[in-house]
A and B are shown apart, each in its own frame.
Chain A
Amino acid sequence: NAGVTQTPKFQVLKTGQSMTLQCAQDMNHEYMSWYRQDPGMGLRLIHYSVGAGITDQGEVPNGYNVSRSTTEDFPLRLLSAAPSQTSVYFCASSSVGGGNEQFFGPGTRLTVL
Chain B
Amino acid sequence: GEDVEQSLFLSVREGDSSVINCTYTDSSSTYLYWYKQEPGAGLQLLTYIFSNMDMKQDQRLTVLLNKKDKHLSLRIADTQTGDSAIYFCAGFNQAGTALIFGKGTTLSVSS
Whole-angstrom distance between the alpha carbons of A58 and B100 in the complex?
10
Query: Given that A104-B42, A107-B42 are known contacts, is A98 also in contact with B97, CB under 8 Å in the complex?
Result: no
Are A42's CB and B88's CB within 8 A? yes
Are A102's CB and B99's CB within 8 A? yes
Closest to A30 in B: B97
Please, which residues of chain B bring their CB within 8 A of the CB of A106? 41-42
Query: Given that A90-B42, A107-B42 are known contacts, is A98 also in contact with B31, CB under 8 Å in the complex?
Result: yes
Whole-angstrom distance between the alpha carbons of A11 and B98 in the complex?
26
Whole-angstrom distance between the alpha carbons of A33 and B100 in the complex?
11
Whole-angstrom distance between the alpha carbons of A59 and B99 in the complex?
11
Are A31's CB and B103's CB within 8 A? no
User: Residue B29 at the A interface, CB < 8 A?
Assistant: yes
B97 to chain A, nearest CB (A): 5
Contact digits for B35-79, partner A, Cβ 8 Å, 1 yes 0 no: 000000111110010100000000000000000000000000000
Are B98's CB and A31's CB within 8 A? yes
Are B88's CB and A56's CB within 8 A? no
**Per a CB cutoff under 8 Å, which of A41, A50, A105 touches B42?**
A105
Please, which residues of chain B bring their CB within 8 A of the CB of A45? 98-100
Are B98's CB and A33's CB within 8 A? yes
**Per a CB cutoff under 8 Å, which of A35, A50, A98, A101 touches B30?**
A98
Q: Which residues of A contact B (CB under 8 A)?
A: 31, 33, 35, 40-45, 48, 50, 56, 58-59, 90, 92, 98-99, 101-102, 104-107
